[in-house]
Structure 1
Amino acid sequence: MDVKKTFAALPWWVKWVAIPAIALFVFGGLIASVVGFILGLLFKLLLFVALVGGLVYVVRKFTSSSGT
């Protein structure tokens, strides 16, 4: 039996509602952990960039004021 023919025979609500709902139920925890990991990584990256930028700003400010 062909997969395309099987899915073609199903009603629209099974293809677009029931199957995605089952996939979210089965893989929901995995999807949530991956999204959480990515968001945590982006937050840490932005925090790192902000801290390095602040450090560069402070060092430049103090070195330029003490040099004159």
Structure 2
Amino acid sequence: MREIFAGLPWWVKWVAVPVIALVVFGGVIASIIGFVVSLLFKALLFVALVGGLIYVVRKFLSSSTSRGDW
């Protein structure tokens, strides 16, 4: 691989080749990033909902046992 890029200018190695790779594989990279962000958002939402449920249940149980009218 080094032999292929040996006689080429620096901008071909560090600018043109990455730009071509982004154009060719841009859709794949964007879909992978979108999938990961979506998965992280769903995990965060799940943790927040479970935490809220635990908070509400503990608050309800502590208030119902302190009243003693059940």
Match of 2:60 in 1: 62
Which of 26, 40, 43 pairs up with 2:41?
A: 43
Shift of 1:7: 1.4
Matched residues in 2 for 1:39 and 1:50: separation?
Answer: 16
Larger CA Rg, structure 1 vs 2: 2
Give the structure-1-normalised TM-score: 0.92
Superposed structure 1 runs of 4+ greater than 2 Å apart: none
Compute the RMSD of aligned alpha carbons. 0.7
Give the structure-2-normalised TM-score: 0.90
- Unpaired runs of 5+ in structure 2? none
**Equivalent residue pairs, number:** 66
Which of 3, 12, 15 pairs up with 2:13?
A: 15
Identity of aligned residues (%): 71
Shift of 1:6: 1.7
